[in-house]
A and B are shown apart, each in its own frame.
Chain A
Amino acid sequence: MRSLLPWVGEELGMRASQKKDFSSPKRLQNKTHLENTPQEPPEAGAKFSIGGGKRFAFGFSQLMKPLKLSMMGVRGVIGQGLTPELVVDFAQAFGTYVEGGTVLVSRDTRPSGDMMRSAVLSGLIATGCRVVDLGVCPTPSLQLAVADRPDAVGGIAISAGHNAVEWNALKFVASDGKLLNSYQGEELLDVYHLGQFRGARWNELKAVEYDDSAVERHIQRILSILDVERIRAAGFRVAVDCCNGACSISTPRLLQELGCEVITINDDPNELFPHDPEPNPGNMSQLRALVKASRADVGFCHDADGERLALVTEDFRALSEEYTLAIIADQVLSRTPGTVVCNVSTSLALEKIAARYNSNVIRTRVGQAYVVEGMIASGAVLGGEGSGGVIFPKLHYAHDSMAAIGHILGFMAETRKPLSALAEAVPSYFMIKEKIYCPPEQVYSVLQRIRESVEENPHGAEVDPTEGIRLLWEDAAVHVRASITEPLIRIISEAQTQERAEELAGLMIAMVQTCL
């Protein structure tokens, strides 16, 4: 860590001189300011300690391509599983599924975005769709635009979200702006597998339309549900790491509207990701240094397409991504008690928070589509996932990191409390996340063997079969499941002490190893 800060300082100095001025009325003044900062940053994630998952980081096997087709869309590594033929065929399948209507398309900032976009456009046009290209824009902006546009029958977001730059993906949006639900996703897969696509004739082909206003409309909609005056009055100083992703332009714009003094890093959408675009403390050292150097009130860390968010406190602690939903739930439920929907992997802290406000938590399978289904069925006041995605039903049913930023600032302004105090109110848990690479043809038999094993011996826990296997004790849990986006098995354990969390993770790792 010692060598990191001076490097960060150089990086910031360079960026500051290159900066366009729309986002930041005040820039970092000089490098000395940064050099004066202590060399040792404080411990990351004081309460949530996240395991690195390195123990089982085997490479991909020779026989297996990093590609995943599911009702969640198609996701893979460019040049390995994710080829233009596959993307063109999926786009044709979607165009056929929506019967050649108007489809909106967006992409994040990955270098492969142009290739993916062209493949998607070609496939959609061929099926007779009218394509509206929104260009580089956050996925929730696309979702809102689809919902708002009367003739839109769907959308395709080209983004692998939090995955590294080598990856890309298609996320399919239904006419109401929600990601395809599990039934719709299955139907689309059926069309794809059938391989018989609409072929529009030459005089039925429609010209591509371009619309760059989706982001601005999204920002205005977020502002419309916030107490803008109060936030403006607070005059926050905010540090943002956009990861050179789809929010690079939009988040500084939003913060400017909210009267914040904005200090940004990694806000050039034409550059590569400076670090993995997964908002977690492991990727937030640069932001933490920035918060410290600029004495910001808060730091926000984006993923590549504006779905997930992680936070840095004013005392420059990088909070685990689990805090994003937890802090927002604490604030939302204190004002409007009701149901919160999250996935089975999200922290147990949510139940404790809900109990404070006479509210309840419903847990669904992992994935935005499942959480949204659960929210609609239960009339939830809030939804989200422990990975940093928060859904505000008042705005729309989509993970929306810009909306989350607005709400966090709103709560800080309203409570007049610093972020560290809001985080302090979240019950303390230790969480360990592990991943074990596993050939895709074995994943489900491994999980089945574990299921059989815990049915014989549940280790004194309640067995929750919502997704994978989750063992739930009084104040601890361990969850094992197949990744929905990558060929690996994920293990998440949680307890009130580090020792207990490690013990439970170890228990499950041993089970997986026995069954592998």
Chain B
Amino acid sequence: MKGVQTLKISISGVRGVVGDSLTPTLLVKFAQSFGTYTNGGTVVVGSDTRTSREMVKHAVLAGLLATGCQVVDLGICPVPTVQLAVERLHASGGIAITASHNPAEWNALKFIRPDGIFLSTYQAEELLDIYHQGEFRLADGISMRRVRVEKGALEAHMNAVMACLDVDTIRRRRFRVVADCCNGAGSVVTSEFLKRLGCEVITINDTPNGIFPHPPEPVQENLTQLCEAVVAHGAEVGFAQDADADRLAIVSDKGEAIGEEYTVSLATELVLGKEQREGLPARPVVVNLSTTALIDDIAAKYGCPVIRTPVGEVNVADTMKREGGAIGGEGNGGVIWPEVHYGRDSLVAMGTVLQLLAERECSVSELVASLPKYHMQKLKVPCTSEQAQRMLSAIKARFASHRIDTRDGVKVSFEDGSWFHVRASRTEPLVRLVVEAKTEKRVNELIESVQEYLGAEEFAKPTFAG
């Protein structure tokens, strides 16, 4: 692999291939930049299970300590655990070490601000400026701190989620659950969390060794093993986490992957219903532009508005915070419930889904059948950023007469409720296309109508929309 193609330094953090572009020297400098950015405050560090975690972590610790930071090391834990710990410990920031859905040879740093949300675009620009300037804060040999190892973060995370759930209702149902942790960060907490919710838990791939048994993206084609296990164990539900345990996909009691768009949809169903029962005023649901229209149907049922944001956790979280969102997230399986915190959280997703099943006294398949049915396709086109620019302009011009949203690429919505969204990826050199409609036929029509502008005779195999 060529170093230039395997390193991505952007406002989403720094991401690269271990043994190639992601060197300890580079990581140390980024950690020093962040330590300088926080002015030597308290910084919480946690990692997923990748084999490179110790190399990356120690580079990060060295860089942070050198700038005078008080470092709190959480060890292996989900990304949302780091986000919550930053808030709980009143830290100046956090660094999560994970390349989330990227393959095992990748790793990355994600930077968290004091409110537990990732750096926003302009904050990330400031961090990059410090990095490029190369002038870091330097602590001396007397005031430099030692690393503080914090063991209680997982416990605190579980408690924070359970405090927002109706735990008794969930426990009474005594769910039989299969959890696939993909040998990722979920391995260290998921089984225990589900047991505390009174579940009988069967775990697969829960060795936290970073050897992913399948690509660490909770999408349909990676869930075969889980689907089989759900059937084999006669479980009521199967949960699949990604490598850093912020996102979740669900398998039904019939052993079918219901699609990751349903995760945020079901969580929304629960939370809006709960708020209505409690007599709270209708609050908005916040999701990104690529998330299923099912969200609009659910929100309408409860008389709540839906706010759409550009793709990216920080965009959703910041909007939620500003607009007082009740619930939301992203269609890729990321649920954000502000009651707990402003971070995508697979524990929150599991808890809300289980509570919904318990309250409705129904199965996953019955629940899905009770909701409007949509068809969605997620496609990607490899291209340079210049090509991407051209494609997007062409599409914008072609569909100018339709309802069009250009805050993040181009989203075009049609009278019949169908829509497509094209945008350039921030983490990889490609364009992503998401199409949704009531029928498969309409989905294919839409794909055809966009295809010529994307200059691709054939789309790459459907994959993730991260």
Q: Do A and B come from one complex?
A: yes
Structural contact, B61 and A205, CB atoms closer than 8 A: no
Q: Which of A115, A125, A203 has the most CB of B within 10 A?
A: A115
Segment among B18-26, B425-433, B456-464 that sits at the interface with chain A: B18-26
Cα A197 to Cα B20 with chains together (Å): 11
Q: Which of B105, B139, B140 has the most CB of A within 10 A?
A: B140
Task: Give the chain B neighbours of A207 by CB distance below 8 A.
Answer: 54
B145 CB to nearest chain A CB (Å)? 7
Q: Is the CB of A115 within 8 A of B144?
A: yes
A sample of 20 inter-chain contacts (CB < 8 A) reads A77-B140, A79-B140, A84-B63, A85-B25, A88-B24, A88-B62, A111-B141, A112-B141, A114-B144, A114-B147, A118-B65, A119-B24, A122-B27, A123-B24, A126-B24, A199-B18, A201-B105, A203-B104, A203-B105, A205-B52
The contact string, 1 if C-beta is below 8 Å from chain A, for chain B 203-234, is 00000000000000000000000000000000
Contact B138 A208 (CB under 8 A): no
User: Which stretch (A163-171, A236-244, A419-427, A455-463) binds chain B?
Assistant: A163-171
Distance A5 CA – B274 CA, assembled complex (angstroms): 72
Chain A nearest CB from B350 CB (Å) reads 29
Mask, A167-181, CB within 8 Å of B = 1, is 110000000000000
Question: Which residue of chain A is the closest to B143 with respect to CB atoms?
Answer: A111
The distance in angstroms between the C-alpha atoms of A200 and B54, with both chains bound, is 13
A121 within 8 A of B: yes
Tell whether B163 is near chain A: CB-to-CB under 8 Å: no
Is there an interface contact between B52 and A119, defined as CB atoms closer than 8 Å? no
Residue of B nearest to A201 (CB): B19
A405 to chain B, nearest CB (A): 28
Check: B59 CB closer than 8 A to any chain A CB.
yes
B407 within 8 A of A: no
* Contact assessment for B28 and A114 in the assembled complex, using a CB-CB cutoff below 8 Å: no
- Chain B residues in 8 Å Cβ range of A125: 24, 54-55, 58
Which residues of the partner chain B approach A272 to less than 8 Å between Cβ atoms? Answer: 142
Beyond A118-B147, A202-B50, A203-B105, 19 additional pairs, beta carbon < 8 A: A77-B141, A112-B141, A112-B144, A115-B61, A115-B65, A119-B28, A122-B24, A122-B28, A122-B57, A122-B58, A165-B142, A166-B142, A199-B23, A200-B19, A201-B18, A202-B19, A202-B52, A203-B51, A205-B52
- B66 at interface, CB cutoff 8 A: yes
B264: Cβ under 8 A from any A Cβ: no
Chain B: which residue is nearest A131 at the CB level?
B54
Q: Which residues of A contact B (CB under 8 A)?
A: 77-80, 83-85, 87-89, 91-92, 110-119, 121-123, 125-126, 165-168, 197, 199-205, 207-208, 272
Known contacts: A115-B66, A122-B55, A122-B62. The answer to whether A78 contacts B25 by CB under 8 A is no
A202 to B209, CA, bound (A): 12
A77: chain B residues at CB < 8 Å are 140-141
A123: shortest Cβ distance to chain B, in Å?
Answer: 5
A112–B145 CA distance with the chains assembled, in angstroms: 7
Bound together, the chains give a CA A122 to CA B61 distance in angstroms of 9
List of B residues within 8 angstroms of A199 by Cβ: 18-20, 23
**In the complex, which residues of chain B have a beta carbon less than 8 angstroms from the beta carbon of A110?**
141
A109 vs chain B, min Cβ distance (A): 10
Q: Are A84 and B147 in contact (CB under 8 A)?
A: no
Inter-chain contacts of B29 with A (CB < 8 A): 85
Min Cβ gap B18→A in Å is: 5
In B59-81, the 8 Å CB interface with A consists of 59, 61-63, 65-66
A87-B62, A199-B19 known; A165 and B28 CB under 8 Å?
A: no
Residues in A whose Cβ lies below 8 Å from that of B56: 122
B309 CB-CB contact with A under 8 Å: no
A15 to B25, CA, bound (A): 42
The smallest C-beta distance from B16 to any residue of chain A, in angstroms, reads: 11
**Closest CB-CB distance, A87 to chain B, in whole Å?**
7
B6: shortest Cβ distance to chain A, in Å? Answer: 11
Determine the chain A residues whose CB is within 8 A of the CB of B62 once the complex forms: 84, 87-88, 115-116, 118-119, 122
Q: How far is the CA of A255 from the CA of B203 in the complex (A)?
A: 52
Determine the distance from Cα of A166 to Cα of B144 in the docked complex, in whole angstroms. Answer: 10
Question: CB within 8 A of A208: which of B28, B54, B66, B139?
Answer: B54
Give the chain A neighbours of B24 by CB distance below 8 A.
Answer: 88, 91-92, 119, 122-123, 125-126
Q: How far does the alpha carbon of A203 sit from the alpha carbon of B55 in the complex, in Å?
A: 13
Is there contact, CB below 8 Å, between A167 and B147?
Answer: no
CB–CB A89/B25 < 8 A: yes
Contacts A84-B32, A122-B24, A202-B104 known; A166 to B140 CB distance under 8 Å? yes
